Structure 1
Amino acid sequence: MASIDDCNIIELTKIGSDRGSLTYTESEISTPFDIKRVYYTYDIPTAAERGGHAHKAQHELVIAASGSFEVIIDDGKNKKTVFLNNPQKGLHIVPGIWRELKSFSTASVVLVMASDVFIDSDYIKNYKEFVHD
């Protein structure tokens, strides 16, 4: 059974210069899983809530590429709120953890790197089902 303590912040490599900054991650080196899919959400209304699901097998690295937001992680017994506002830091969410994203700042961009392609059957979308599994 996964625990919120299994989720952690990963500090990504940052290369800075007078021309700006570059941050990167590499599969199974700085990211603890093989990256198979990358997606991002944007134009998110400030009061919107995203997520509201768990994955059975998929790992995700969630990054505030721009702006800020809160990620509430929940293992069915314990909850924790993680504030993301730095594109150099990502939250590694392990399988079996419910997640909700909210409190978006203006122009937030949520960047997600996932360990697998989209597989609908990997999602648990009902919280009552999640708690009883």
Structure 2
Amino acid sequence: MPQSKFTLDTCNVITLPKISDPRGNLTFIEGNNHIPFDIKRVYYLYDVPGGAERGGHAHKDLYQLIIAMSGSFDVLLDDGYHKKRVHLSRSYNGLYVCPMIWRELDNFSSGSVCMVLASNCYDENDYYRDYDEYLAARGVTK
């Protein structure tokens, strides 16, 4: 059993509000309303070369919402025991990712933009960048 309370079941796709209008649609996100955390940082990935992968880490305490603002990509989630792949392609859907979940992003379509809302400011000490170290922290033995 995982030492962390966070498992793949904790991560899910959140459908965000969508206001449809013939002039163009609008989606908005309010921290602690549509997502279960305050938003302290926003960043985005773009111009990702074909075949490239991003992510490849886990966070100790950070919560995130990952959104395909344009185009599409896949997010591979891994809690040390199970893995699941989530395809994101709609800007009104966001993937909620809790702490202690390893994530990898791949299969980026041409022109895709990945926006991430984060619960904390950047802190290098919050990262697990080595998969074996991450597994040890989760109490997973190979």
Matches within 5 A, 1:52-131: 52-131=56-135
1:47 to 32, 41, 51: 51
Distance 1:80 1:107 in 2: 24
| Structure 2 residue matching 1:100: 3-state secondary structure | strand
What do you get for the CA RMSD once the two structures are aligned?
Answer: 0.5
Gaps of 5+ in 2: 138-142
Which residue number corresponds to residue 11 of structure 1? Answer: 15
- The residue type equivalent to 1:120 in the other structure is E
| Counterpart for residue 24 of structure 1 | 28
TM norm structure 2: 0.92
Alpha-carbon offset, residue 106 of structure 1: 0.4
Q: Distance in 1 between matches of 2:10 and 2:35?
A: 14
Cα distance between partner residues in 1 of 2:110 and 2:50:
6
Aligned residues: 133
> Which has the greater radius of gyration?
2
Sequence identity (%): 50
Q: In structure 1, what is the equivalent of residue 140 of structure 2? A: none
How far apart are 1:53 and its partner, in Å? 0.3
Q: Deviations over 1:99-128 (max 9, x none)?
A: 000000000100000000000100100001
Using the size of structure 1 for normalisation, the TM-score is 0.99
Q: Give CA-to-partner distance per residue, 1:73-114, whole Å, 9 cap, x none.
A: 000010000000000000000000000000000001000000
Q: What residue identity is the alignment partner of 1:36? A: K
